[in-house]
Chain A
C-alpha cells in the first residue's frame, strides 16, 4: 500500500517537474520579449528624434542595409506590436501552466498525505 502510493507520488512529482519546466520556459521567453520591447521603444524614440538628413541602416547579418527613415519607423512600430502580441500570448500560456502546476501541486500534497498516513499506519502496526 505504501509502495503503491510511493510510485504514484513519484509519477506525480515528475509530472509536476515537467510542468514547472514549462512554466519557467514561458517565463524566460516573456522576459526576453520584455527586454526587446524596451529596446524597440528606445529605437522608436530615437528614430523620432532623427530627421531625414540622417541615414538609417539596418544590420542584417554582417551587412548594413540602408533603410528609409519612415520605413524604419514603420518597421520598428510593427516590431513593437509584434512583440506586444507575443507577450500577451506568453502571458496566457504562463497562466495555463501555472494553473496546471497548482493542480499538480494539490494532487501531490494529497498523495503525500496519504503516503504519510500509510506510513504512519505501518509504523503503528509495526
Chain B
C-alpha cells in the first residue's frame, strides 16, 4: 500500500503538472482570442468608416495637432485611401477597394480566431482529463482503478489448466494416482450404499488429490534437481509427499516440516527424520512411493546414512521399518511401483534391482546386516565413498548370498574367504576413505569385481594391506570406531 501511495503521489504530481501546463496553454489561447476579437472589431469599425466616407465630398473635422492640440480641418479626397498591404508595401485605393481589402483581412482574422478557439477547446479537454486523472489517482472521484490480482492454485476451477502445465514425469504418477483412486473408488463403492453420492464425493476427493499430487510433483521435480546432496532430502520429502498423496491428512504438515528439517539439519537430526519417515510409513500406505523412493537410500544412502542411527537405539526402528517396508512391499501396487520407472530414481532402483536380482537384499538383508555388522558412523559428512562402501557391502552381500551378478564368480570367489559378514566391514573399512566412484550404479558390478582385490587409489591399497592385518575379532568392539576413524580420516 505504501508503494501504491507513493506512486499515487508521483502520479498526482505529474498529473497536477500536466493540468497546470494545460491550463497555461488555455489561458494563452484565451488571450490570443481576445486579441483577435479586438482586431476584428477594429476592422469592422474601419469597414463602416470606409463605407460612409465617400458619402460626402469633404468632411470638417478637428485634426489632432501633436498630442495636445486639435485644429479644425477638412477631409478631402475621401475616396482615396492608402492601404498598408503588409511588409512596408502601400497601395492607393479607392474606398471600395479598401473595403474589399479590409474584408479580406477580416477573413484572415476570423480564421486565426477559429484556430485559436479550436486549440483552446482542445486544451480545455486535456485540462478536464487531467483533473479527472487527478481525482482518480487520489481516489476521490467516482472513477476507481480496477485491479485484479491473479490468484494461483485455486483448486476446483483451474484443474484442467494445471494439468496442461504438467511435466512429463508426472504422467506415470498420475497413473499411480489413478490406481489409487480406483482402489479408493472401489473401496468407496463397496462401503457405500449410495454409490452415486459416493461417486461424486470420490470425484471431488479425486480432484483434491489431483491438486495435491500436482503440487507434490512440483516439489519432487524441484527435489530431483538437488539430487546429489539432497537425494535423501528429496527422497524423504518425496516419500513423505507421496504419503501425503495417499493421506489427505496431517502428513503434508509433517512433510513440509521434514523438508526444512532435511535441508537445514546436520546429520544428527537426520535419524529423527528417518524415524519420522519410518513411522509415517507405518501409519499410512507407504508401500508404493516409499519403496521406490527409499530403495536407493537403502542401497546407497540408507546403508550409509541410516547407519547414522546408532545400533543400540535404532536397530529396533530399523527392524520395524523393515517389517513395515516388507509389509508394504507385499502390497500389489508397491510391486507395480517397484517395477515401474517413473523417475530417475526409479531407474536407479530398478538398476539396482536388476543387479542385485531382488529387492529384498537391499532392504532387508543388506540393511540388517549392514546395520548390524557395519560400523554405525555418522556419515553426515561422508563422501560418496562411504555410500559406495555401503553399496558395495550390500552388493557383496548380495553376491555372496545370491550370486546373481555376472561378475559374481570372481567376487564370490574372492569374497568367499571373506564370506563371513564380519570380515567385510574390515575390508570396507579399508575402502572407507578411498572409493572415488562417482557412478555407483553403472560401474557397480565391475567395481564389485575390482574393488575387493585392488582399488585404484593408493590409499585403498595401503588400507587393504592394513585391513587384513586388522583381526576380525576386533570388528565387534571396533564397529563404531572404524567408521568413525574412516570419517576422521576423511575429515
Contacts and interface: CB of A to CB of B under 8 A. Distances in A.
Interface string A39-63: 1101101110110001111111000
Interface of B: 82-83, 85-93, 97, 100-101, 104-105, 108
A36 interface: yes
Contacts of A58: 88-90
B87 A46 contact: no
Interface string A48-80: 011000111111100010010000100010010
Contact of B90 (A39, A45, A56): A56
16 contacts: A36-B87, A42-B85, A42-B108, A43-B85, A46-B85, A49-B97, A49-B104, A54-B91, A54-B93, A55-B91, A57-B89, A57-B90, A57-B91, A57-B92, A64-B82, A76-B87
A78 B97 CA distance: 25
A39 B92 contact: no
Contact of B86 (A43, A49, A55, A64): A43
Contact of B85 (A36, A47, A55, A64): A47
A76 B89 CA distance: 9
A73 B407 CA distance: 116
Nearest to A49: B100
A43 B447 CA distance: 107
A contact face: mostly helix, strand, loop, or mixed: helix
B87 to A, nearest CB: 5
B104 A45 contact: yes
A57 B82 contact: yes
B98 to A, nearest CB: 10
A45 B87 CA distance: 13
Contacts of B82: 57, 64
A36 B89 CA distance: 13
Contacts of B108: 42
A16 to B, nearest CB: 23
B92 A46 contact: no
Nearest to B81: A54
Contacts, number: 59
Nearest to A69: B91
A60 B90 CA distance: 11
Contacts of B92: 54-57
A54 B97 contact: yes
A72 to B, nearest CB: 6
A61 to B, nearest CB: 10
A123 B105 CA distance: 67
A89 B117 CA distance: 32
A39 B86 contact: yes
Given A42-B105, A54-B97, A60-B88, 17 more contacts: A42-B86, A46-B85, A46-B86, A46-B91, A46-B104, A47-B89, A47-B91, A49-B100, A50-B91, A50-B97, A54-B91, A56-B89, A56-B90, A57-B90, A58-B89, A76-B87, A76-B89
B90 A40 contact: no
Contacts of A54: 91-93, 97
Contacts of A55: 91-92
Nearest to B82: A57
Nearest to B87: A39
Contacts of A40: 86-87
Nearest to A53: B94
Which of A42, A54, A79 has the most chain B CB atoms inside 10 A of its CB? Answer: A54
Nearest to B100: A49
A62 B92 CA distance: 17
A55 B90 CA distance: 8
Contacts of A39: 86-87
Contacts of A67: 89
A17 to B, nearest CB: 23
Contacts of A47: 85, 89, 91
Contacts of A49: 97, 100-101, 104
Contacts of A50: 91, 93, 97
Contacts of B101: 46, 49
A45 B101 CA distance: 10
Contacts of B88: 58-60
B36 to A, nearest CB: 14
A47 B93 CA distance: 11
Contacts of A79: 87
A9 to B, nearest CB: 26
A122 to B, nearest CB: 27
A39 B89 CA distance: 10
B350 to A, nearest CB: 55
